[in-house]
Amino acid sequence: MSAVAADSVALAPTDYLLHLADNALVLGQRNAQWCGHGPILEEELALANMSLDLVGQARLLYDLVARRAADGSTEDTYAYWRDASQFRNYTLLELPHRSPLVGYAQGDMDFAITVMRNTLYTALMVPLWQQLCDCSDPDLAAIAAKSLKEAQYHLRHACDWLVKLGDGTDSSRQRMQGALEHLWPYTAEFWVSGKLEALARSAGLLVDGAALESSWNAIIDAVLEQATLTRPPAPEGYVSEGKVGVHSEHLSFLLAEMQSLARAHPGAQW
């Protein structure tokens, strides 16, 4: 975008772009951990491809931030050279694929948690990308249009598995209900309006939180009914704050794994 064109439109704030990018990168990294461990070969490939979609979304957003910063930064700067407190992803996305454990503990990955998390998150991103397709920032609108198509597939894929497992055997239903109850409190962070949302609205991004919540509830209620799962009550108590940089210990372990090669060989060319 030319300087003249950029001056004539309201551009998305950097923090909001990083929030969107960090969400995509962290979930992409989490889902990629199924590579070599998937329940069936077809699903392993599907999760790997969806991870690539998410990393691709993150790259586009990081690159946009870097170009606008014009300070010599690149997409790698934001992915590999920020610490956990500088990431703005939802806490939901950094949690391990298993029941609550300390970050360094070892345990079998639970496919039910992966399916449920992907459902809860993509049910938010489909209506959000739809809104951002019409935002005032043409670069973000173009990224949103591409990302929307991917998110729609991700949602359909996650919902298909949720229904199969929720309305499957007694064991699979119990595991899906357990995953839902484990992850549900973290969805409260979606609806906490703060600085990020205020910046987005002031930049003309047309992010309508009430409409997002209504759309998300409709999607979630419909799929839970099909899956014969019980929606938990509204979360109470502490609300996670990942999008303002307050994370669980799990993000540090995830980033250590993801960033180790780049930090061990700074400036290396591949």
8 A C-beta contact, residue 247 and residue 85: yes
Say whether 122 sits in a helix, a strand or coil: helix
Phi, psi at 123, each rounded to 5°: -65, -25
How much is the pLDDT for 215?
A: 97
Length of the chain in terms of residues written? 270
**Amino acid type, 152:** Q
Whole-angstrom distance, CA of residue 74 vs CA of residue 78:
7
pLDDT by residue for the chain (270 residues), tens only, comes to 444 344 556 789 999 999 999 999 999 999 998 777 767 767 888 898 999 999 999 999 999 999 999 998 999 999 999 999 999 999 999 999 876 666 666 677 899 999 999 999 999 999 999 999 999 899 999 999 999 999 999 999 999 999 999 999 999 999 999 999 999 999 999 999 888 888 888 888 878 888 999 999 999 999 999 999 999 999 888 999 999 999 999 999 999 999 888 888 887 776
CB 88 within 8 A of CB 245: yes
Nearest to 75 by CA among 65, 62, 87, 84: 62
Q: What is the pLDDT of residue 42?
A: 76
Spatial neighbors of 206 by CB under 8 A, at least 6 apart, are 131, 132, 134, 135, 136
Domains and CATH numbers, the chain: 10-264 (1.20.1260.10)
State the Cα–Cα distance between residues 64 and 59, nearest whole angstrom. 8
Count the alpha carbons within 13 Å of 141 in the hemisphere toward its beta carbon: 13
Query: 113 and 172 in contact (C-beta within 8 Å)?
Result: no
Residue pointed to by tokens 């459902």 = 119
Half-sphere exposure of 32 (CA within 13 A, CB side): 14
- What global pTM score does this model have? 0.91
Which residue matches tokens 């996650």? Answer: 158
CA distance 252 to 143: 28
